[in-house]
Amino acid sequence: MTVRVGVLALQGDTREHLAALREAGADALSVRRVAEMKSVDALVIPGGESTAISHLLREFELLEPLRARLADGMPAYGSCAGMILLADEILDAGAEGRRAEPLHGIDMTVRRNAFGRQVDSFEEDIAFQGLDGHVHAVFIRAPWVERVGPEVEVLARAGGHPVAVRQGRMLATAFHPEVTGDRRVHKLFVDSLG
Protein backbone atom coordinates (compact mmCIF):
# COMPACT_ATOMS: atom_id res chain seq x y z
CA MET A 1 0.00 0.00 0.00
CA THR A 2 1.31 3.45 -0.93
CA VAL A 3 1.42 5.97 1.90
CA ARG A 4 -0.26 9.33 1.42
CA VAL A 5 2.05 12.17 2.43
CA GLY A 6 0.92 15.77 2.48
CA VAL A 7 3.17 18.78 2.02
CA LEU A 8 2.06 21.87 3.91
CA ALA A 9 1.53 24.27 1.01
CA LEU A 10 1.23 27.64 2.71
CA GLN A 11 4.72 28.96 1.94
CA GLY A 12 8.07 27.45 1.04
CA ASP A 13 9.46 24.62 -1.11
CA THR A 14 6.18 22.80 -1.70
CA ARG A 15 6.74 21.75 -5.33
CA GLU A 16 10.24 20.42 -4.65
CA HIS A 17 9.07 18.31 -1.69
CA LEU A 18 6.13 16.92 -3.68
CA ALA A 19 8.53 15.78 -6.45
CA ALA A 20 11.00 14.29 -3.94
CA LEU A 21 8.26 12.37 -2.10
CA ARG A 22 6.83 10.96 -5.35
CA GLU A 23 10.31 9.83 -6.41
CA ALA A 24 10.67 8.20 -2.98
CA GLY A 25 7.48 6.16 -3.59
CA ALA A 26 4.79 8.17 -1.76
CA ASP A 27 1.45 9.43 -2.96
CA ALA A 28 2.11 13.13 -2.33
CA LEU A 29 -0.37 16.01 -2.27
CA SER A 30 -0.54 19.64 -1.19
CA VAL A 31 -2.20 20.47 2.13
CA ARG A 32 -3.84 23.87 2.70
CA ARG A 33 -7.02 22.94 4.58
CA VAL A 34 -7.97 20.88 7.61
CA ALA A 35 -9.84 18.32 5.47
CA GLU A 36 -6.71 17.78 3.34
CA MET A 37 -4.58 17.39 6.46
CA LYS A 38 -7.00 14.81 7.85
CA SER A 39 -6.71 12.79 4.62
CA VAL A 40 -2.94 12.17 4.81
CA ASP A 41 -0.90 9.55 6.66
CA ALA A 42 2.04 11.91 7.26
CA LEU A 43 3.03 15.52 6.64
CA VAL A 44 6.09 17.39 5.38
CA ILE A 45 6.59 20.94 6.65
CA PRO A 46 8.85 22.65 4.12
CA GLY A 47 11.46 25.33 4.44
CA GLY A 48 10.43 28.92 4.04
CA GLU A 49 10.03 31.51 6.78
CA SER A 50 8.94 30.05 10.11
CA THR A 51 7.10 33.16 11.33
CA ALA A 52 5.25 33.47 8.02
CA ILE A 53 4.26 29.79 8.07
CA SER A 54 3.08 30.17 11.69
CA HIS A 55 1.01 33.23 10.73
CA LEU A 56 -0.58 31.34 7.82
CA LEU A 57 -1.26 28.30 10.04
CA ARG A 58 -3.26 30.61 12.31
CA GLU A 59 -5.00 32.39 9.40
CA PHE A 60 -6.04 29.10 7.76
CA GLU A 61 -7.11 27.70 11.17
CA LEU A 62 -4.61 24.85 10.84
CA LEU A 63 -2.38 25.47 13.88
CA GLU A 64 -4.38 23.64 16.55
CA PRO A 65 -5.58 20.83 14.23
CA LEU A 66 -1.97 20.25 13.18
CA ARG A 67 -0.78 20.19 16.80
CA ALA A 68 -3.56 17.71 17.58
CA ARG A 69 -2.62 15.39 14.67
CA LEU A 70 1.04 15.45 15.72
CA ALA A 71 0.09 14.75 19.35
CA ASP A 72 -1.99 11.80 18.10
CA GLY A 73 1.09 10.35 16.40
CA MET A 74 0.94 11.57 12.80
CA PRO A 75 4.50 11.26 11.40
CA ALA A 76 6.09 14.44 10.09
CA TYR A 77 9.26 15.62 8.41
CA GLY A 78 10.37 19.24 8.64
CA SER A 79 13.18 20.86 6.65
CA CYS A 80 14.70 24.16 7.79
CA ALA A 81 11.64 26.22 8.85
CA GLY A 82 9.83 22.89 9.25
CA MET A 83 12.51 21.79 11.73
CA ILE A 84 11.99 25.01 13.68
CA LEU A 85 8.23 24.51 13.85
CA LEU A 86 8.44 20.82 14.87
CA ALA A 87 10.42 21.77 17.99
CA ASP A 88 9.13 21.95 21.55
CA GLU A 89 11.01 25.21 22.08
CA ILE A 90 12.15 27.87 19.59
CA LEU A 91 14.91 30.33 20.49
CA ASP A 92 14.81 33.74 18.77
CA ALA A 93 11.21 32.96 17.79
CA GLY A 94 10.46 36.50 16.55
CA ALA A 95 8.54 39.53 17.76
CA GLU A 96 5.28 39.29 19.70
CA GLY A 97 2.35 38.86 17.31
CA ARG A 98 4.66 37.51 14.58
CA ARG A 99 6.36 34.58 16.25
CA ALA A 100 7.28 31.10 15.11
CA GLU A 101 4.85 28.74 16.88
CA PRO A 102 6.24 25.44 18.21
CA LEU A 103 4.19 22.43 17.13
CA HIS A 104 5.66 20.18 19.86
CA GLY A 105 6.47 17.29 17.51
CA ILE A 106 10.07 16.64 18.58
CA ASP A 107 11.58 17.03 22.05
CA MET A 108 14.21 19.58 21.05
CA THR A 109 15.15 23.23 21.31
CA VAL A 110 15.96 24.92 17.99
CA ARG A 111 17.59 28.29 17.34
CA ARG A 112 16.25 30.17 14.30
CA ASN A 113 18.80 31.56 11.82
CA ALA A 114 21.57 30.06 13.96
CA PHE A 115 24.13 29.92 11.15
CA GLY A 116 23.51 33.57 10.29
CA ARG A 117 21.64 35.72 7.80
CA GLN A 118 20.90 35.02 4.12
CA VAL A 119 24.44 36.02 3.10
CA ASP A 120 25.80 33.36 5.49
CA SER A 121 23.98 30.53 3.68
CA PHE A 122 26.29 27.68 2.64
CA GLU A 123 26.55 24.15 1.26
CA GLU A 124 28.48 21.30 2.85
CA ASP A 125 28.81 17.53 2.49
CA ILE A 126 27.90 15.95 5.82
CA ALA A 127 27.83 12.43 7.23
CA PHE A 128 24.25 11.30 7.86
CA GLN A 129 23.68 8.30 10.13
CA GLY A 130 21.81 5.51 8.33
CA LEU A 131 22.68 6.72 4.81
CA ASP A 132 25.64 5.53 2.74
CA GLY A 133 28.07 8.25 1.79
CA HIS A 134 27.74 11.93 2.57
CA VAL A 135 24.67 14.09 2.00
CA HIS A 136 25.14 17.37 0.14
CA ALA A 137 23.40 19.78 2.52
CA VAL A 138 22.16 23.23 1.49
CA PHE A 139 21.80 25.55 4.50
CA ILE A 140 19.76 28.73 3.87
CA ARG A 141 19.39 30.98 6.95
CA ALA A 142 19.44 27.65 8.71
CA PRO A 143 18.61 26.72 12.28
CA TRP A 144 20.50 24.32 14.47
CA VAL A 145 19.44 22.18 17.42
CA GLU A 146 20.65 23.34 20.83
CA ARG A 147 19.04 20.63 22.98
CA VAL A 148 17.61 17.19 22.34
CA GLY A 149 15.51 15.09 24.66
CA PRO A 150 16.43 11.51 25.63
CA GLU A 151 14.29 9.95 22.87
CA VAL A 152 15.81 12.09 20.08
CA GLU A 153 18.52 10.61 17.86
CA VAL A 154 21.02 13.01 16.26
CA LEU A 155 21.57 11.88 12.65
CA ALA A 156 23.92 14.60 11.36
CA ARG A 157 25.98 17.56 12.53
CA ALA A 158 27.48 20.65 10.92
CA GLY A 159 29.83 23.01 12.71
CA GLY A 160 29.49 20.75 15.75
CA HIS A 161 25.73 21.36 15.99
CA PRO A 162 22.94 18.82 15.36
CA VAL A 163 21.33 19.54 11.97
CA ALA A 164 19.32 16.33 11.46
CA VAL A 165 17.32 14.52 14.14
CA ARG A 166 14.75 11.77 14.48
CA GLN A 167 12.30 10.92 17.22
CA GLY A 168 10.18 7.90 16.42
CA ARG A 169 8.56 8.66 13.05
CA MET A 170 9.38 12.37 13.26
CA LEU A 171 12.33 13.60 11.19
CA ALA A 172 13.82 17.07 10.88
CA THR A 173 16.73 18.61 8.99
CA ALA A 174 18.17 22.12 9.18
CA PHE A 175 19.03 21.87 5.49
CA HIS A 176 17.07 21.48 2.24
CA PRO A 177 17.51 18.01 0.66
CA GLU A 178 14.58 18.73 -1.68
CA VAL A 179 16.71 21.15 -3.74
CA THR A 180 19.66 18.83 -4.42
CA GLY A 181 18.14 15.92 -6.36
CA ASP A 182 19.34 13.47 -3.68
CA ARG A 183 16.18 11.68 -2.53
CA ARG A 184 17.71 9.58 0.27
CA VAL A 185 16.41 11.73 3.14
CA HIS A 186 12.87 11.69 1.71
CA LYS A 187 13.18 7.93 1.11
CA LEU A 188 14.30 7.47 4.73
CA PHE A 189 11.15 9.29 5.86
CA VAL A 190 8.79 7.46 3.46
CA ASP A 191 10.29 4.08 4.39
CA SER A 192 9.68 4.81 8.09
CA LEU A 193 5.94 5.08 7.38
CA GLY A 194 5.50 1.51 6.12
CATH number at residue 166: 3.40.50.880
List CB contacts of 107: < 8 A, sequence separation 6 or more: 88, 148, 149, 150, 151, 152, 167
Residue 89 is among the residues annotated as catalytic for this protein: no
Q: For the chain, first and last CA: distance in Å?
A: 8
**Number of C-beta neighbours around residue 104 at 10 A:** 14
Q: Measure the CA–CA gap between 80 and 48, rounded to whole angstroms.
A: 7
Q: Are 136 and 155 in contact (CB under 8 A)?
A: no
Annotated binding residues, as ranges?
A: 48-50, 112, 140-141
Choosing from 17, 101, 178, 186, the catalytic residue is: 178
CA separation for the pair 5, 37 (Å, rounded): 9
Closest to 134 in 3D by CA, of 82, 77, 180: 180
Q: How confident is the model at residue 169 (pLDDT cuts 50, 70, 90)?
A: very high
Which residue in 17, 55, 176, 186 is the catalytic one? 176
Q: For the segment 113-165, what is each residue's pLDDT rounded down to a tens digit?
A: 888 777 778 899 999 999 999 999 999 999 999 999 999 999 999 999 999 99
Tally the domains of the chain: 1
Q: What is the residue range of 164's domain? A: 4-192
Q: What is the pTM of this model?
A: 0.95
The binding site for L-glutamine comprises 48-50, 112, 140-141
pLDDT in tens, 62-109: 999 999 999 999 999 999 999 999 999 999 877 666 889 999 999 999
- Catalytic residue (one of 16, 80, 101, 186): 80
The verdict on whether 80 is a catalytic residue reads yes
Verify whether residue 176 is a known catalytic residue: yes
Q: Contact, 125 vs 135, CB < 8 A?
A: yes
Q: Is the pLDDT of residue 3 over 70?
A: yes
